[in-house]
């Protein structure tokens, strides 16, 4: 993938995850913050619409929206399990 150097891309590059085989993805909850959604319930609606668009375009949703569970801190050191998604970073053409 091409290196993105423009200032507006640096935040997206900072939250990008890379696995050992070189595949790149964003966690949806990280992307939520970058896109300035303050609540998951609002951003999850965006994810749902994107999944519908993916399906309507003939793509397999699980190949583009990998559901994962992760632990998040909720205060006083307590944690709870929440749903997140791995969203593949698509190459810039």
**pLDDT band of 74, cuts 50, 70, 90:** confident
Integer-rounded Cα Rg, in Å, for the chain is 14
At residue 35, does pLDDT exceed 70? yes
Q: What is the pLDDT of residue 6?
A: 64
Whole-number average pLDDT of the chain: 87
Residue among 15, 4, 21, 27 at smallest CA distance from 86:
27
Question: The tokens 């300035």 sit on which residue?
Answer: 36
Mean pLDDT of the 5-24 span: 82
Residue 9 Cα to chain centre, angstroms: 15
């Amino acid at each position: 993938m091409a290196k993105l150097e423009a200032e507006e891309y640096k935040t997206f590059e900072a939250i990008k995850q890379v696995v050992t085989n070189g595949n790149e993805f964003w966690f949806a909850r990280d992307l939520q913050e970058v896109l300035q959604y303050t609540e998951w319930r609002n951003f999850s609606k965006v994810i749902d619409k994107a999944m519908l668009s993916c399906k309507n375009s003939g793509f397999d949703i699980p190949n583009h929206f990998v559901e994962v569970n992760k632990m998040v801190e909720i205060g006083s050191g307590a944690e709870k399990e929440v749903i997140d998604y791995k969203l593949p970073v698509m190459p810039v053409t």
